[in-house]
């Protein structure tokens, strides 16, 4: 029975390890306009309360670049005329957040602290430091329980899967299984 669990853990680890390489081509095939619309709708759901409270005003006429490095995807986010805007390009960005897919999932699911990943150089924040701090604080302020239940459950399931997949199985367990 223990060997079955070990095999399942190894499969999960391989799926997590190779997720970006598997998803890279299909993600790039999605038209940019659809990517932007999906991202914008997701941001509106996640930051519903913050948008209602005007908490995005610090981003007025400024641009946040978000990059998923291993998927080679990037978007630019701004707040203009009291609404979020997502673009695939801009003349310049004021602050940039970039990281690998798995790390960004762990941050979104609150399985890793952005500060920890920043100091481990797994999350890069470049540009206007004050603006970057405001973005990070806004992300930290999101109450995941306020998200629509299906979105919250999907995010937590994915974050747990990635977290468990990144854990290296102990050799002793595997050897004792035989």
Q: What percent of the chain has pLDDT over 70?
A: 94
Three-state DSSP string of 81-123? CCEEEEECCCCCCCEEEEECHHHHHHHHCCCCCHHHHHHCCCE
Instruction: Give domain limits for the chain.
Output: 9-164
Total-model pTM: 0.85
The per-residue pLDDT for range 39-62, each reduced to its tens digit, is: 999 999 889 889 999 999 999 989
Hey, what long-range contacts does 150-154 have (CB within 8 A, 24 or more apart)? 151/45, 151/46
**Which CATH superfamily groups domain 9-164?**
SCP2 sterol-binding domain (3.30.1050.10)
């Amino acid at each position: 029975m223990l060997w079955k669990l070990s095999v399942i853990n190894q499969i999960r680890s391989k799926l997590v390890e190779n997720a970006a390489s598997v998803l890279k081509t299909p993600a790039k095939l999605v038209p940019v306009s659809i990517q932007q619309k999906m991202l914008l709708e997701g941001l509106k759901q996640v930051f519903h309360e913050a948008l209602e409270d005007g908490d995005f005003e610090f981003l007025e006429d400024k641009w946040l670049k978000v990059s998923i490095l291993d998927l080679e995807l990037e978007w630019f986010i701004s707040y203009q005329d009291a609404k979020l805007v997502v673009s695939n390009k801009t003349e310049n960005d004021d602050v940039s957040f970039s990281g690998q897919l798995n790390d960004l999932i762990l941050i979104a699911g609150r399985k890793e602290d952005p500060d920890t990943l920043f100091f481990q150089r797994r999350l890069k924040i470049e540009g206007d430091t004050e603006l970057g701090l405001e973005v990070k604080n806004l992300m930290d302020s999101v109450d995941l329980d306020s998200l629509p239940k299906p979105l919250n459950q999907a995010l937590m399931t994915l974050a747990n899967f990635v977290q468990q997949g990144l854990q290296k199985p102990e050799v002793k367990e595997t050897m004792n299984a035989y």
